[in-house]
Amino acid sequence: MNATRRSFIYYPALLSLFLVALVFLGGCSNPEKAKAEHVSKGEAYLKESKFQEAALEFRNALQLDDKLATAHWGVARAYEGLQRFPEMLSELKKTVELDQNNLEAKVKLGNLYLGGSKGSAELIAEAERLAKDVLQRDPKNIEGHILLSSVRFSQNQKDEALAELNRAIELDPNRSESYLSLARF
């Protein structure tokens, strides 16, 4: 009877332990799926210009993984749409730190540095570093050439600035944004 009593307690306890382990192991894949779903919903909201909803979805993904570069990038773009530029700057810095290959984020960050530089040599130098990094990774990146042109203009190197704008136009002569940059020059 003593052995029966032990098996009566032992097997349910073993079954409970097994179920807990199964739930734990099954839950390990759910955060990855949840992150992907939040990012996907955030991207959909961005396309619909629902910036507040997009920011919420991307922040939900960041609660699961604070080092998720795609979520930081999404929050940065949502904050841009909401015109929350200080927060956008912070998210762009995190994006670039976590994903060195996000050239669009680097260009946006460089442009923000230039826009807020007010002649600060340090911010202009950082924008230049970002522009050069973009062009080193992709020499045909039009926005990288336009950023470098803006850097050269802020450094009072007008001939070099014009040359960079002309490179951007040569890469895609049908791109109207490049001509607008030239007109501003």
Domains and CATH numbers, the chain: 102-185 (1.25.40.10)
For the full predicted model, state whether its pTM sits above 0.75: yes
pLDDT in tens, the chain (185 residues): 455 555 555 556 555 555 555 445 454 458 899 999 999 999 999 999 999 999 999 999 999 999 999 999 999 999 999 999 999 999 999 999 999 999 999 999 999 999 887 879 999 999 999 999 999 999 999 999 999 999 999 999 999 999 999 999 999 888 888 777 777 76
Are the C-beta atoms of 94 and 109 separated by less than 8 Å? no
State the Cα–Cα distance between residues 3 and 132, nearest whole angstrom: 76
